[in-house]
Amino acid sequence: MSYTIGVPRETEKGEKLVALVPEVVSRLVKKGATVQVERGAGALAFIDDNAFSEAGATLVDRAAAFASDIVVKVRPPDDEEIGLMKSGAAFIGFLNPLDAPDRSAALAKRGVTALSMELVPRISRAQKMDALSALSSVAGYRAVLVAAEILPKFFPLLTTAAGTVRPANALVLGAGVAGLQAIATARRLGARTFAYDIRDVVKEEVQSLGATFVELELEVAGMQDEGGYAKALAEEKARRQTELLVPHIGKSDVVVTTALIPGRKAPVLITRQAVEAMKPGSVIIDLAAPNGGNCELTKPGETVVHNGVRIVGPLNMTADMPVHASELYSRTLLAMLTDFTGEEGFTVNFDDEVFAGSCVTHEGAVVNERVKSLLTPA
């Protein structure tokens, strides 16, 4: 018995990725799936419909893609898209469930079993399914390239007949996957690179990339949760942290911020005072902008200039690199589909740690306790 996997075209403003690329489609077809790709789904990722057809996909309209047994997407589905899914179907993709729990409630009401890529547990077996890490790496790389383009200085040390140009100072705040990629990229471009994170366990990783780990006179022991994410600081410690960061930020030509805490507003690490300590022409790239930003002056989706310092608040930096971002994301979906589909199609298995951790809705109910707690009682 064949089952269908639908790949709709992404319609959210600015999104250029496609959930599955032809290479992955081919592998799924060989496993017995019928992959239904909406016409034009890969256009913004430079993949034409012929490439999908040659990989074995069936080209369909939007309604047919959403009527599939399993729907895979990049961006969370909106109300109209949820309405196009059939009861009993499965959805796998980003859901942003901790910030938008009502969407999960709508999926449950529709009778859709939804797996959230944000909630995939950070365990060894699930590394191949870790879409957040895959796309964070893209964002960290791209952030430094954007900063280098905007900065009115060279990144590397240059010795010329006209004299020596000193290297730029780059500071990365947050040394998760995005931060580590930003550090590595800044180093490759020749900047003197520094990094700060409240998790002292990442110090060795930062130093292994050739960067200097910034240490503050602040007690931050045990600031990593079970999922590998940073915990939120108490109010007084958070205030002290921003004060201690001011001189380090002030010496930087480029600051890339990546600090996020799942389900919470992004912590403020760069105050107005810190921005005003920077030299005119300096650049801040705030990758936490979608969650409010790590800089007090960030405006999500905009570039703000304050005292000659440009503060960029990108909402979806991975969309600037849709070819490789689509490939990486598609492989994480392949891993999910491989583990949770069989000859009869989608397989529900709450005994599986990855399935149980990432499943948000099933049989008409929100089953994830964290998401359920965020919903307003009827």
**Average pLDDT score over residue span 143-152:** 98
Enter the tokens of residue 25.
């489609």
pLDDT > 80? residue 328: yes
The pLDDT tens digits for 104-142 are 999 999 999 999 999 999 899 999 999 999 999 999 999
The two structure tokens encoding residue 218: 């602040």
CATH homologous superfamily of 3-129+322-373: NAD(P)-binding Rossmann-like Domain (3.40.50.720)
Distance CA(197)–CA(205), nearest Å, equals 11
Start and end residues for every CATH 3.40.50.720 domain found in the chain: 3-129+322-373, 139-320
**What is the per-residue pLDDT for 323?**
98
- Catalytic residue, chosen from 127, 207, 208, 273, is 127
- Calculate the average pLDDT of the chain: 94
Q: What is the predicted pLDDT for the residue at 232?
A: 57
Told to judge if 239 belongs to the known catalytic residues of this protein, a careful annotator would answer no
196 as an active site residue: the answer is: no
78 as an active site residue: the answer is no
Query: Could you read off the pLDDT of 226-275 as tens digits, one per residue?
Result: 555 555 567 788 889 999 999 999 999 999 999 988 778 999 999 999 99
Alpha helices in the chain (DSSP H): 22-30, 49-54, 62-66, 79-84, 101-110, 131-150, 177-188, 203-208, 235-250, 272-277, 322-340, 353-358, 369-374
* pLDDT value of residue 239: 87
Q: How do residues 348-364 score in pLDDT, each as one tens digit?
A: 999 999 999 999 999 99
Q: Write down the catalytic residue from 68, 133, 137, 326.
A: 133
127 included as an active-site residue: yes
pLDDT of residue 218: 78
130 is catalytic: yes
Domain 139-320 = CATH 3.40.50.720: yes
Residue of 39, 99, 229, 339 with catalytic role: 229
Q: Average pLDDT for residues 289-296, to the nearest whole number?
A: 96
The proportion of the chain whose per-residue pLDDT surpasses 70, expressed as a percent, equals 95
